Amino acid sequence: MIEQLLTPQNMSVGVMFAITILFGTVFWWPVTRFPRKDGLLNFYWVGFWAFLGMITAMSGAQATLMLAGHDVDSTANALLNALTITFVIFVVFAWFRLVLMGAGKMVMKFRG
Instruction: Give the pLDDT confidence of 39-80 residue by residue, as tens digits.
Output: 888 899 999 999 999 889 888 888 888 888 888 878 888 888
pLDDT of residue 111: 87
Residue ranges making up the domain that contains 80: 2-111
CB 60 within 8 Å of CB 17: yes
CB-based burial of residue 24 (10 Å sphere; 0-12 exposed, 13-18 middle, 19+ buried)?
Answer: middle
Structural domains in the chain (count): 1
Helix ranges (H only) for the chain are 2-5, 8-33, 39-67, 73-111
Question: Does residue 32 carry a pLDDT above 90?
Answer: no
At 69 the pLDDT is 84
- Compute the distance between CA of residue 31 and CA of residue 98 in angstroms, rounded to an integer: 19
Instruction: State the pLDDT at residue 5.
Output: 65
Q: Cα-flanking dihedrals φ and ψ of residue 10, to 5°?
A: -70, -35
Q: What is the pLDDT of residue 2?
A: 62
Q: How far apart are CA 84 and CA 58, in angstroms?
A: 10
The pLDDT, as a whole number, for residue 31 is 86
pLDDT in tens, 2-29: 666 667 777 888 888 899 999 888 888 8
